[in-house]
């Protein structure tokens, strides 16, 4: 197994290489497709359709944005958590989808990236639905671990031989501190997911925005301490800021 860590539009792209095929640990941004194709065909000297499986850990633009297009271009399968509803369902969901696209564009601007088309369908149609503890199809060294909280359907991917796990946005690094992501829609589930990861005693984590890390006991303790106990969402943040602004006007 060779793990290639590539710099994506606003996140790390983890491409796993095996002789029999390629595994993409997350669905990337729509803007990452050309970069990914160039790397596979030029750097690895493999046909683009050697990409066999794309896992979508959750529905945000930098984790699901390229999945459908990659399936169209390569014939790969898409895998994601088993759910009964779409994440961006209803009117509120469509507004949240637009908000997340705007946030992704804002992050790209902060990183000095040129403006790109990030649009993708708010509805994911996977070929394979994964349960907790289920081995990835075609890639038996990888195990699905459900880690909800950031959204209701987040999954992580454990590489069993190396005892390392891709945890997507479960943990982010800001100013050299490991903190929870924003948003956290389900704080109780998030805290349970943290404890689940801590209990696994992993040798390292692969983060969607910071590469490979190895957290110390004190860093895990800090994360547990600052993990939210109430939902932290765009709507809630906007409401709080609006209230503060109104109070300042009195």
Closest CA to 46 of 78, 75, 18, 10: 18
The percent of residues above 90 in pLDDT, for the chain, comes to 93
Both tokens assigned to 146: 């459900």
27-85 residue pLDDT tens: 999 999 999 999 999 999 999 999 999 999 999 999 999 999 999 999 999 999 999 99
Residue 245 confidence (pLDDT): 45
Neighbours of 84 (CB within 10 A): 4
E strand spans, 95-138? 128-130, 135-136
Residue 68 confidence (pLDDT): 98
Residues 6+ apart with CB under 8 A from 235: none
Domain spans of the chain? 2-226
Rounded-to-integer distance, Cα 58 and Cα 197, Å: 17
Residue with tokens 């006007």: 249
Global pTM? 0.94
The secondary element (H helix, E strand) that includes residue 107 is helix 90-110
Residue 234 confidence (pLDDT): 78
Rounded-to-integer distance, Cα 230 and Cα 170, Å: 16
pLDDT of 175 strictly over 50: yes
The predicted model gives 225-230 an average pLDDT of 96
Rounded-to-integer distance, Cα 238 and Cα 64, Å: 25
DSSP bridge pairs for 56:
80
242 vs 4, higher pLDDT:
4
Please give the CATH architecture assigned to the domain spanning 2-226: 4-Layer Sandwich (3.60)
- When pLDDT is cut at 50, 70 and 90, the band that residue 248 belongs to is low
Residue 91 confidence (pLDDT): 96
For all residues of the chain together, what is the average pLDDT? 95
Peptide bond into 183 cis (omega under 30): yes
């Amino acid at each position: 197994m060779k793990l290639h860590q590539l710099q994506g539009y606003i996140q790390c792209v983890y491409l796993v290489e095996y002789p029999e095929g390629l595994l993409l640990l997350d669905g990337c941004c729509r803007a990452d497709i050309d970069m990914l194709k160039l790397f596979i065909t030029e750097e690895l000297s493999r046909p683009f359709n050697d990409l066999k499986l794309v896992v979508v850990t959750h529905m945000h633009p930098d984790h699901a944005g390229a999945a459908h297009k990659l399936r169209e271009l390569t014939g790969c399968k898409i895998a994601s958590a088993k759910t009964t509803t779409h994440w961006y369902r209803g009117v509120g969901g469509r507004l949240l989808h637009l908000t997340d696209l705007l946030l992704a564009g804002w992050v790209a601007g902060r990183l000095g990236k040129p403006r790109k088309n990030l649009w993708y369908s708010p509805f994911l149609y996977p070929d394979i639905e994964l349960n907790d503890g289920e081995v990835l199809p075609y890639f038996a060294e990888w195990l699905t671990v459900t880690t909800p909280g950031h959204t209701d359907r987040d999954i992580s991917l454990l590489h069993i031989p190396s005892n390392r796990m891709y945890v997507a946005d479960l943990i982010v690094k800001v100013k050299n501190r490991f903190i929870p992501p924003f948003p956290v829609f389900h704080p109780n589930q998030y805290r349970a997911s943290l404890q689940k990861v801590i209990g696994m005693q992993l040798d390292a984590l692969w983060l969607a925005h910071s590469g490979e890390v190895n957290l110390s006991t004190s860093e895990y303790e800090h994360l547990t301490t600052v993990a939210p106990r109430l939902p932290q969402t765009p709507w809630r943040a906007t409401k709080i800021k609006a209230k503060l602004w109104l109070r300042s006007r009195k």
